[in-house]
A = this chain, B = another copy of it.
Amino acid sequence: MAKALPVSPLALPLPNLTTVPGVRLGAVAAGVRYTGRTDLMLMSFVEGTTVAGVFTRNKCSAAPIDWSREALKHGRARALVVNSGNANVFTGQAGVTAVEATASAAAEAVGCAANEVFLASTGVIGEKIAYHRIVDALPALDAGLRDDAWADTARAIMTTDTFPKAARRDTRIGNTPVRIQGIAKGSGMIAPDMATMLAFVATDAAIPHETLQSLLRDATDSSFNCITVDSDTSTSDMVLLFATGQANNASVSGPADPALAEFVSALRSLMHELALMVVRDGEGATKMFSVRVTGAVSNESAKRVALAIGNSPLVKTAIAGQDANWGRVVMAVGKAGEPADRDRLSVAIGGTWIARDGSVVEGYDETPVVAHMKGQDIEIHADLGLGQGEATIWTCDLTHGYIDINGSYRS
């Protein structure tokens, strides 16, 4: 698995990153599993930092997920420790011992309570993690923390990722300028071997825990919860949002406070950008595609139909083959198990309506659709003709590259 993968043809360069007052960070090669690269990162946060988090719904969650979910109840954070190479999943009591020792070592290094330490791990599952290497590496890592090491941390958390992922927004709360900056990893929606989705976002805004949690949940719903690579949900997915308070903005009354309007919009936009980077690094991906469903009986129903289309192996292979195979979209709508009426269904690709109200458009000219299918960003739109519900999801094609990456021996 440590073999180098070719960089995704959909890769994006790192943006121009900045600092987030109240956050210091760094990365080191601790040798958890990989050799010759960084695999451990530490962020420390100034006293008073609040935190919000969302976690995988997979029932076989990782030990660090359990730890961080518990720590979140206190709502405050001083440190975040993330390793790549071993996910510490399905490791029983040994996994619990590992997270306790890691949190304890980080708390000592940073000077805080263990329940102010957040943990995430990603990599192979079912193998005991060499946590002593993490514990041993933490003091020197802490001593070398800087405020400008964001790109280093983005690289340290990569597994089967082929490019590092980060995004930045400069926004305001009321009249006070604030920043938001984050890193992410992921290249399958998941592959428990190596490709869990993780995102860590920090802002210098002052926002109480409960409000922050509400903002994060909302922004996750329209970003990471709208992407899929292979329909498989990791045991370790996690998104954390830290607010250091260093911007000294006026206090906010709650998630609906009008002073938060620009911040909310910037946070959503940043998280959406990070999520799309994960899709762009989808294992074996050569094309991204969005699926927009309108006219459903509800937004929830629209999303389920959109995911049925986006996760269909037949739709995904058609996109890879540049085949405007709208019949497979019809099939996927019908199999979703949601209200749908064949005779009201319409399908467009790249803005061209191919089928309307249950049959192909009279005189349908395939030319613009064929041209659209040759691009890297494909748009599928299905209108169910039943109601006002709508949703959009983003995913990637299914190619020989996916089989190559996931069908080879672990080594």
Inter-chain contact B314/A313, CB cutoff 8 Å: no
State whether B92 touches A358 (Cβ < 8 A). yes
**A-side interface mostly:** loop
A121 at interface by CB-CB < 8 Å: no
CB under 8 Å from chain B, chain A span 333-364: 333-337, 339-343, 345, 355, 357-360
Cβ-defined contact, A232 with B313, below 8 A: yes
> Closest CB-CB distance, A220 to chain B, in whole Å?
17
Judge whether A177 is part of the interface by a CB distance below 8 angstroms.
no
Cβ of A359 and Cβ of B318 under 8 Å apart? no
Q: How many residues of A contact B (CB 8 A)?
A: 70
Residues of B within 8 A of A60 (CB): 330-331, 333-334, 340, 342, 345
Say yes or no for A111: interface residue by CB 8 A criterion. Answer: no
Given contact pairs A59-B339, A89-B330, A323-B410, enumerate 15 new A-B contacts (beta carbons under 8 Å).
A59-B342, A90-B327, A126-B359, A191-B328, A192-B314, A192-B331, A193-B325, A232-B314, A232-B332, A320-B403, A320-B407, A321-B407, A322-B409, A323-B407, A323-B408
Interface 0/1 of A354-394, CB less than 8 Å to B:
01011110000000000000000000000000000000000
Alpha-carbon gap, A234 to B311, bound state (A): 15
CB atoms of B126 and A355 under 8 A apart: yes
Q: Is the CB of A126 within 8 A of B406?
A: no
Shortest A57–chain B CB gap in Å is 8
Q: Which residues of B contact A191 (CB under 8 A)?
A: 314, 328
Give CA–CA (A410, B369) in the complex, Å: 14
Closest 4 CB pairs of A and B: A92-B359, A60-B334, A321-B407, A125-B327
